[in-house]
Amino acid sequence: MASSPKQAPTPKGIKFLFGGTAGMAATVFVQPLDLVKNRMQMSGEGGKVREHKTSFHAVLKIFQKEGLRGMYTGLSAGLFRQATYTTTRLGIYSTLFDLTSGQDGSPPNFATKASIGMVAGATGAFVGTPAEISLIRMTSDGRLPPEQRRGYTSVFNALARITREEGLFTLWRGCGPTMARAMVVNAAQLASYSQSKQFLLGTGYFQDNIFCHFGASMISGFVTTCASMPVDIAKTRIQNMKVIDGKPEYSGGIDVLSKTIRSEGVLSLWKGFTPYYARLGPHTVLTFIFLEQMNKMYRNYASTAQC
Protein backbone atom coordinates (compact mmCIF):
# COMPACT_ATOMS: atom_id res chain seq x y z
CA MET A 1 0.00 0.00 0.00
CA ALA A 2 1.39 3.38 -0.97
CA SER A 3 2.04 5.72 1.91
CA SER A 4 0.05 8.93 2.01
CA PRO A 5 1.94 12.06 0.97
CA LYS A 6 3.53 13.99 3.82
CA GLN A 7 1.51 17.02 4.93
CA ALA A 8 3.28 20.23 3.94
CA PRO A 9 3.77 22.67 6.83
CA THR A 10 1.56 25.75 6.86
CA PRO A 11 3.58 28.79 5.70
CA LYS A 12 4.33 31.36 8.42
CA GLY A 13 2.55 34.12 6.51
CA ILE A 14 -0.62 32.04 6.43
CA LYS A 15 -0.33 31.34 10.18
CA PHE A 16 -0.09 35.07 10.91
CA LEU A 17 -3.04 35.81 8.62
CA PHE A 18 -5.18 33.12 10.25
CA GLY A 19 -4.24 34.29 13.75
CA GLY A 20 -5.32 37.88 13.10
CA THR A 21 -8.45 36.80 11.24
CA ALA A 22 -9.48 34.42 14.04
CA GLY A 23 -9.08 37.22 16.60
CA MET A 24 -11.17 39.57 14.46
CA ALA A 25 -13.94 36.98 14.07
CA ALA A 26 -14.06 36.43 17.84
CA THR A 27 -14.22 40.20 18.44
CA VAL A 28 -17.46 40.44 16.46
CA PHE A 29 -19.09 38.31 19.18
CA VAL A 30 -17.55 39.92 22.27
CA GLN A 31 -17.40 43.62 21.26
CA PRO A 32 -20.44 44.56 23.42
CA LEU A 33 -18.62 43.20 26.49
CA ASP A 34 -15.58 45.36 25.68
CA LEU A 35 -17.87 48.38 25.44
CA VAL A 36 -19.48 47.67 28.82
CA LYS A 37 -16.08 47.03 30.45
CA ASN A 38 -14.73 50.37 29.23
CA ARG A 39 -17.85 52.25 30.35
CA MET A 40 -17.63 50.64 33.80
CA GLN A 41 -13.97 51.60 34.15
CA MET A 42 -14.73 55.23 33.30
CA SER A 43 -17.78 55.37 35.58
CA GLY A 44 -17.13 57.39 38.75
CA GLU A 45 -13.80 58.75 37.51
CA GLY A 46 -12.41 61.53 39.65
CA GLY A 47 -14.84 60.93 42.48
CA LYS A 48 -17.89 61.79 40.37
CA VAL A 49 -21.20 60.02 40.90
CA ARG A 50 -20.98 56.56 39.37
CA GLU A 51 -23.01 56.32 36.18
CA HIS A 52 -23.34 52.54 36.38
CA LYS A 53 -23.80 50.54 39.60
CA THR A 54 -23.35 47.16 37.89
CA SER A 55 -22.55 45.75 34.46
CA PHE A 56 -26.23 44.88 33.93
CA HIS A 57 -27.17 48.47 34.77
CA ALA A 58 -24.61 49.66 32.19
CA VAL A 59 -26.09 47.37 29.49
CA LEU A 60 -29.62 48.64 30.25
CA LYS A 61 -28.56 52.29 30.09
CA ILE A 62 -26.65 51.81 26.83
CA PHE A 63 -29.67 50.09 25.26
CA GLN A 64 -31.97 52.89 26.42
CA LYS A 65 -29.74 55.75 25.24
CA GLU A 66 -27.98 54.31 22.19
CA GLY A 67 -29.98 51.27 21.08
CA LEU A 68 -28.69 47.88 19.90
CA ARG A 69 -26.35 49.55 17.42
CA GLY A 70 -24.74 51.40 20.33
CA MET A 71 -23.55 48.10 21.78
CA TYR A 72 -21.24 47.77 18.77
CA THR A 73 -19.78 51.27 18.99
CA GLY A 74 -16.07 51.08 18.22
CA LEU A 75 -16.29 47.73 16.39
CA SER A 76 -14.00 48.98 13.60
CA ALA A 77 -11.36 49.87 16.22
CA GLY A 78 -11.79 46.47 17.90
CA LEU A 79 -11.26 44.70 14.58
CA PHE A 80 -8.26 46.86 13.71
CA ARG A 81 -6.78 46.14 17.14
CA GLN A 82 -6.96 42.41 16.46
CA ALA A 83 -5.49 42.89 12.97
CA THR A 84 -2.47 44.68 14.48
CA TYR A 85 -2.04 43.34 18.02
CA THR A 86 -3.01 39.68 17.58
CA THR A 87 -1.25 39.23 14.24
CA THR A 88 1.98 40.75 15.60
CA ARG A 89 1.78 38.87 18.89
CA LEU A 90 1.25 35.47 17.24
CA GLY A 91 3.89 36.22 14.61
CA ILE A 92 6.55 37.15 17.18
CA TYR A 93 5.59 34.22 19.43
CA SER A 94 5.75 31.71 16.58
CA THR A 95 9.13 33.02 15.42
CA LEU A 96 10.68 33.00 18.91
CA PHE A 97 9.14 29.58 19.64
CA ASP A 98 10.91 28.11 16.60
CA LEU A 99 14.20 29.79 17.53
CA THR A 100 14.13 28.41 21.10
CA SER A 101 13.01 24.89 20.18
CA GLY A 102 15.56 22.06 20.39
CA GLN A 103 17.49 20.68 17.44
CA ASP A 104 15.25 17.61 17.57
CA GLY A 105 12.13 19.76 17.35
CA SER A 106 11.34 19.52 21.07
CA PRO A 107 9.45 22.57 22.38
CA PRO A 108 11.07 25.05 24.81
CA ASN A 109 10.46 24.63 28.55
CA PHE A 110 7.65 26.42 30.38
CA ALA A 111 9.79 29.32 31.64
CA THR A 112 11.02 30.02 28.12
CA LYS A 113 7.47 29.86 26.72
CA ALA A 114 6.30 32.29 29.40
CA SER A 115 9.19 34.64 28.60
CA ILE A 116 8.64 34.66 24.85
CA GLY A 117 4.92 35.06 25.49
CA MET A 118 5.62 38.23 27.48
CA VAL A 119 7.96 39.57 24.79
CA ALA A 120 5.42 38.79 22.07
CA GLY A 121 2.62 40.39 24.09
CA ALA A 122 4.59 43.57 24.76
CA THR A 123 5.63 43.91 21.10
CA GLY A 124 2.09 43.29 19.87
CA ALA A 125 0.74 45.81 22.39
CA PHE A 126 3.14 48.50 21.13
CA VAL A 127 2.02 47.93 17.52
CA GLY A 128 -1.65 47.80 18.57
CA THR A 129 -1.70 50.87 20.86
CA PRO A 130 -3.07 53.30 18.18
CA ALA A 131 -6.01 50.95 17.61
CA GLU A 132 -6.38 50.50 21.38
CA ILE A 133 -6.61 54.24 22.07
CA SER A 134 -9.15 54.60 19.25
CA LEU A 135 -11.22 51.77 20.74
CA ILE A 136 -11.17 53.28 24.25
CA ARG A 137 -12.27 56.68 23.00
CA MET A 138 -14.96 55.39 20.66
CA THR A 139 -16.53 53.10 23.28
CA SER A 140 -16.42 55.87 25.94
CA ASP A 141 -17.93 58.59 23.73
CA GLY A 142 -21.58 57.68 24.35
CA ARG A 143 -21.32 58.37 28.09
CA LEU A 144 -20.43 62.04 27.50
CA PRO A 145 -22.80 64.99 26.88
CA PRO A 146 -23.25 65.61 23.12
CA GLU A 147 -21.10 68.77 23.17
CA GLN A 148 -18.16 66.90 24.73
CA ARG A 149 -18.16 63.88 22.41
CA ARG A 150 -15.34 63.38 19.96
CA GLY A 151 -17.63 61.82 17.37
CA TYR A 152 -15.16 59.56 15.56
CA THR A 153 -16.94 57.82 12.66
CA SER A 154 -14.47 54.93 12.32
CA VAL A 155 -11.07 53.78 13.53
CA PHE A 156 -9.39 55.44 10.54
CA ASN A 157 -11.21 58.70 11.22
CA ALA A 158 -10.08 58.43 14.85
CA LEU A 159 -6.45 57.82 13.88
CA ALA A 160 -6.43 60.71 11.40
CA ARG A 161 -8.07 63.18 13.79
CA ILE A 162 -5.93 62.22 16.79
CA THR A 163 -2.81 62.75 14.67
CA ARG A 164 -4.07 66.06 13.28
CA GLU A 165 -5.55 67.50 16.49
CA GLU A 166 -3.22 66.11 19.18
CA GLY A 167 -0.05 65.02 17.41
CA LEU A 168 1.32 61.70 16.17
CA PHE A 169 2.75 60.60 19.52
CA THR A 170 -0.71 60.77 21.13
CA LEU A 171 -1.45 57.52 19.28
CA TRP A 172 0.96 55.85 21.71
CA ARG A 173 -0.35 57.53 24.86
CA GLY A 174 -0.63 54.92 27.60
CA CYS A 175 1.74 52.64 25.69
CA GLY A 176 3.58 51.69 28.91
CA PRO A 177 0.49 50.41 30.79
CA THR A 178 -0.76 48.77 27.57
CA MET A 179 2.48 46.82 27.19
CA ALA A 180 2.56 46.00 30.93
CA ARG A 181 -1.00 44.69 30.72
CA ALA A 182 -0.13 42.54 27.70
CA MET A 183 2.86 41.06 29.55
CA VAL A 184 0.74 40.29 32.63
CA VAL A 185 -2.07 38.80 30.51
CA ASN A 186 0.26 36.60 28.47
CA ALA A 187 2.19 35.35 31.51
CA ALA A 188 -0.99 34.71 33.55
CA GLN A 189 -2.78 33.02 30.66
CA LEU A 190 0.11 30.68 29.87
CA ALA A 191 0.50 29.55 33.47
CA SER A 192 -3.16 29.34 34.47
CA TYR A 193 -4.47 27.80 31.21
CA SER A 194 -1.86 25.05 31.28
CA GLN A 195 -2.53 24.24 34.95
CA SER A 196 -6.32 24.45 34.55
CA LYS A 197 -6.32 22.10 31.57
CA GLN A 198 -4.08 19.65 33.44
CA PHE A 199 -6.39 19.79 36.47
CA LEU A 200 -9.58 19.22 34.44
CA LEU A 201 -8.08 16.29 32.53
CA GLY A 202 -6.92 14.81 35.85
CA THR A 203 -10.47 14.74 37.25
CA GLY A 204 -11.45 12.02 34.77
CA TYR A 205 -14.58 13.92 33.75
CA PHE A 206 -12.99 15.73 30.79
CA GLN A 207 -11.29 14.70 27.58
CA ASP A 208 -8.98 16.91 25.50
CA ASN A 209 -11.78 18.54 23.49
CA ILE A 210 -13.65 21.83 23.14
CA PHE A 211 -15.45 21.39 26.48
CA CYS A 212 -12.15 21.00 28.31
CA HIS A 213 -10.68 23.96 26.42
CA PHE A 214 -13.69 26.11 27.33
CA GLY A 215 -13.49 25.16 31.01
CA ALA A 216 -9.74 25.79 31.16
CA SER A 217 -10.20 29.10 29.33
CA MET A 218 -12.81 30.29 31.83
CA ILE A 219 -10.63 29.37 34.82
CA SER A 220 -7.64 30.99 33.15
CA GLY A 221 -9.75 34.04 32.33
CA PHE A 222 -10.67 34.48 36.01
CA VAL A 223 -7.03 34.35 37.14
CA THR A 224 -5.90 36.64 34.30
CA THR A 225 -8.69 39.13 35.00
CA CYS A 226 -7.76 39.37 38.68
CA ALA A 227 -4.09 39.93 37.81
CA SER A 228 -4.47 42.38 34.92
CA MET A 229 -7.44 44.63 35.74
CA PRO A 230 -5.57 47.27 37.81
CA VAL A 231 -3.15 47.75 34.91
CA ASP A 232 -6.06 47.76 32.45
CA ILE A 233 -7.99 50.50 34.26
CA ALA A 234 -4.83 52.66 34.34
CA LYS A 235 -4.42 52.12 30.59
CA THR A 236 -8.09 52.91 29.87
CA ARG A 237 -8.15 56.18 31.80
CA ILE A 238 -4.84 57.44 30.41
CA GLN A 239 -5.92 56.75 26.84
CA ASN A 240 -9.30 58.42 27.31
CA MET A 241 -8.04 61.50 29.20
CA LYS A 242 -8.17 64.99 27.77
CA VAL A 243 -5.41 67.60 27.96
CA ILE A 244 -6.88 70.84 29.30
CA ASP A 245 -4.80 74.04 28.92
CA GLY A 246 -1.74 71.92 28.21
CA LYS A 247 -2.14 69.92 31.43
CA PRO A 248 -3.06 66.21 31.22
CA GLU A 249 -5.40 64.71 33.82
CA TYR A 250 -2.84 62.03 34.73
CA SER A 251 0.95 61.96 34.70
CA GLY A 252 1.16 58.18 34.31
CA GLY A 253 -0.14 54.78 35.38
CA ILE A 254 0.90 55.14 39.04
CA ASP A 255 -0.87 58.50 39.21
CA VAL A 256 -4.06 56.92 37.86
CA LEU A 257 -3.97 54.11 40.41
CA SER A 258 -3.23 56.37 43.38
CA LYS A 259 -5.97 58.87 42.45
CA THR A 260 -8.46 56.07 41.75
CA ILE A 261 -7.81 54.38 45.11
CA ARG A 262 -7.96 57.69 46.97
CA SER A 263 -11.26 58.87 45.42
CA GLU A 264 -13.05 55.58 44.64
CA GLY A 265 -11.52 52.93 46.90
CA VAL A 266 -9.26 49.92 46.31
CA LEU A 267 -12.02 47.71 44.88
CA SER A 268 -12.59 50.22 42.07
CA LEU A 269 -9.40 48.83 40.47
CA TRP A 270 -11.52 45.81 39.53
CA LYS A 271 -14.45 47.87 38.24
CA GLY A 272 -15.92 46.23 35.15
CA PHE A 273 -14.74 42.78 36.34
CA THR A 274 -17.83 40.91 35.07
CA PRO A 275 -17.73 42.06 31.40
CA TYR A 276 -13.91 41.83 31.36
CA TYR A 277 -14.02 38.25 32.60
CA ALA A 278 -17.01 37.34 30.43
CA ARG A 279 -15.11 38.64 27.40
CA LEU A 280 -11.68 37.11 28.05
CA GLY A 281 -12.64 33.41 28.29
CA PRO A 282 -15.06 33.22 25.33
CA HIS A 283 -12.79 35.39 23.16
CA THR A 284 -9.93 32.94 23.74
CA VAL A 285 -12.14 29.92 23.00
CA LEU A 286 -13.71 31.50 19.89
CA THR A 287 -10.31 32.57 18.58
CA PHE A 288 -8.97 29.03 18.82
CA ILE A 289 -12.16 27.54 17.32
CA PHE A 290 -11.92 29.85 14.29
CA LEU A 291 -8.17 29.27 14.06
CA GLU A 292 -8.57 25.47 14.08
CA GLN A 293 -11.27 25.63 11.41
CA MET A 294 -9.17 27.85 9.13
CA ASN A 295 -6.13 25.61 9.57
CA LYS A 296 -8.29 22.55 8.80
CA MET A 297 -9.68 24.15 5.64
CA TYR A 298 -6.18 25.15 4.54
CA ARG A 299 -4.84 21.61 5.10
CA ASN A 300 -7.72 20.19 3.05
CA TYR A 301 -7.07 22.76 0.32
CA ALA A 302 -3.30 22.04 0.32
CA SER A 303 -3.81 18.27 0.18
CA THR A 304 -6.35 18.66 -2.67
CA ALA A 305 -3.93 20.91 -4.56
CA GLN A 306 -1.21 18.23 -4.31
CA CYS A 307 -3.40 15.61 -5.93
Measured in whole angstroms, the distance separating CA 122 from the mean position of its chain's CA atoms is 12
Domain with residue 105: its CATH number is 1.50.40.10
Domain that holds residue 78: 12-44+51-285
What would the pLDDT profile of 25-63 be if each residue is shown by its tens digit?
A: 999 988 888 888 888 877 766 656 567 777 788 888 888
What is d(CA 28, CA 113) in angstroms, rounded to the nearest whole number? 29
Q: Is the pLDDT of residue 238 over 50?
A: yes
- Half-sphere exposure for 133 (CA within 13 Å, toward CB): 30
Angle at alpha carbon of residue 292, lines to 28 and 277, rounded to 5°: 45
Residue 302 lies in a domain: no
Task: Establish if 6 belongs to a structural domain.
Answer: no
What's the Rg (C-alpha) of the chain? 21
Percent of the chain predicted with pLDDT > 90: 18
Which residues make Cβ contacts (< 8 Å) with residue 76, sequence separation at least 6?
Answer: 154, 155, 156
Distance CA 153, CA 141 (A): 11
Name the DSSP letter for residue 269. G
Give how many domains the chain has, as a whole number. 1
State the pLDDT confidence band at 78, using cuts at 50, 70 and 90.
very high
Question: Which of 70-84, 107-121, 130-144 is least confident?
Answer: 107-121
End-to-end CA, the chain: 17
The pLDDT value recorded for residue 2 is 44
Taking a C-beta distance cutoff of 8 angstroms, is the pair 135, 81 a contact? yes
Query: Does residue 7 lie within any of the structural domains?
Result: no
Indicate whether 290 belongs to any domain.
no
Greatest alpha-carbon pair distance for the chain in Å reads 80
Q: What CA–CA distances, in Å, run from 55 to 26, 136, 201, 275?
A: 21, 17, 33, 7
> What interhelical angle do 12-42 and 273-306 show, nearest 10?
170
How does 143-180 read in b/e, with b if 16+ C-beta sit within 10 Å?
beeeeeebebeebeebbebbeeeeeeeebebbbbbbbb
Question: What pLDDT does residue 1 have?
Answer: 43
DSSP β-bridge partners for residue 243? 248
CA distance 70 to 58: 12
Q: What is the pTM (predicted TM-score) of this model?
A: 0.74
pLDDT in tens, 132-188: 999 999 988 888 888 888 889 999 999 999 999 999 999 999 898 889 888 988 877
> Is 270 inside any structural domain?
yes
How deeply is 3 buried, as exposed, middle or buried, from its count of CB atoms within 10 A (0-12, 13-18, 19+)? exposed
Instruction: Give the residue among 277, 295, 149 at the shortest CA–CA distance from 218.
Output: 277
pLDDT value for 47 = 58
d(CA 57, CA 63): 10
- Which residue stretches of 203-252 are H helix? 210-240
DSSP conformational letter for 144: S
pLDDT band at 77 (very low <50, low <70, confident <90, very high): very high
For 252-271, write each residue's pLDDT tens digit: 888 989 988 988 889 888 88
